Each structure stands twice: as structure tokens, then as C-alpha cells.
A = this chain, B = another copy of it.
Amino acid sequence: MQERGGKSDGRSKGARERLLDAALRVIRSKGYSATTVDDLCAAAGVTKGAFFHHFRTKEELGIAAAAHFSAMADGIFSTAPFMAIDDPFERLIGYVDFRRAIIGGELPAFTCLVGTMVQEAYATHPALREACARSIEEHAAMVEAIVAEVIAARGDPTGQGARSLALYTQAAIQGAFILAKASNDPQAATDCLDHLRRYLECLFGAPPAPTV
């Protein structure tokens, strides 16, 4: 049995797909710079020739990996249960709860590829930086859509707009990952998500009176 493994054909595992999957694992644990092309080839089980057949440079692989990660995330979140919640506020809380729930196990499995890469690349690899920015922007836009609905129904107590609040959720999550890596403990991240959730409840929560 033979497949063609074309550029946008995902049903078989060509070298390109395998390299992209390997990039997610390896770069998230070693970082972009420390990850060598040989590392990627070994992890993907392909040769160097295959690597440079599909990607002109290591940076191009990084850019493709950011898009790959983005697509994967989009698939996970767009089909996640919380998305079916009617009330916008509850859906927003559902998003945070969902993000909290998928934290666990090994760090490279749940942390953010683009958050890792952009720290190393922002000053030295402009194209990679932009790819990471697009990836974050794309996910934030999904959150922003929810926030915008909440604001439409309950007003904007922040005065900073839906986009700003959506980006803040991403910042809190990215920062949570850094703490988890530093302490080598995923719970440091879930703890942060609890605070983020409380902030949103505080902003939009039902009781107009100050709680506690």
C-alpha cells in the first residue's frame, strides 16, 4: 500500500508531517535554538535529505511548526465541549476551565510551542517571530469573539475592550507555563488559571455587590 503524502493530505504520515509532529515535541522541551536538524530527523525517523527536501531552512520548519501547532489547537478548541455553552459568560468561564483541565502530565505535552519559540526568536528571526504572533493572534481572536459577546450582554467594566482582555487571558496562560517550567510542577499553572478565572468572574459575575 502506498500513499502520496501530498502537501495538504493528512491521512498518511509523510516525512513532512512526521517532522512537524516531532518539532512540537522536541522544540517544546529543548527550545528552538537547542533543537538541531538532526534531533528533528531522529525524532521523526527521517533522514536529513528528507528534511531539506520539505524545508529550505531550519527557520522555515519553525514557521511551519507554528502553523501546525495553531491548526492543532484550533481543532482541539473548536470542538471542545465548552464551545456549545449558550450563555457567553459561562462559555468564557468554560474556556478557562477547559484550559485548566488539559494541564497535566509532562510539561512538553501541554505547554505552548509559540510562546517558547518567540522568546528566543523575536529579535533574531523576524519571520519566525511573526509566525508566532499570528498563531497567538489566531487563538486570541477565538477568545475575543467570546469576550465580545459577554461585553455586548453585560458591558465592558475594563474599558480596555474585548481584544485586550482576550490577550490578557493568553498572557496569564503563557506566564502560568513559565512558572510551571521553573518549578517543574504543573500545579503552578493550574493555580494561575484559578486566579484568571476569578478575575473574569469578578468582572462579569452576576452579583453586582462586592463578594465576601
Contacts and interface: CB of A to CB of B under 8 A. Distances in A.
B120 A120 contact: yes
Q: What is the total number of copies of this protein in its complex?
A: 2
A160 B164 CA distance: 26
**A interface, size bucket:** 35 or more
A122 B181 contact: yes
B119 A181 contact: yes
Given A119-B116, A123-B30, A212 B157 contact: yes
Given A174-B179, A175-B172, A178-B119, A165 B195 contact: yes
A33 B179 contact: no
A173 interface: yes
Contacts of A172: 168, 171-172, 175
Q: With a 10 A CB-CB cut-off, give which of A116, A191, A207 has the most chain B CB atoms.
A: A191
Given A30-B124, A191-B167, A192-B167, A182 B118 contact: yes
Specify the main secondary structure of chain A where it touches its partner: helix
A156 B198 CA distance: 13
A82 to B, nearest CB: 21
Nearest to A200: B199
A176 B179 contact: no
A202 interface: yes
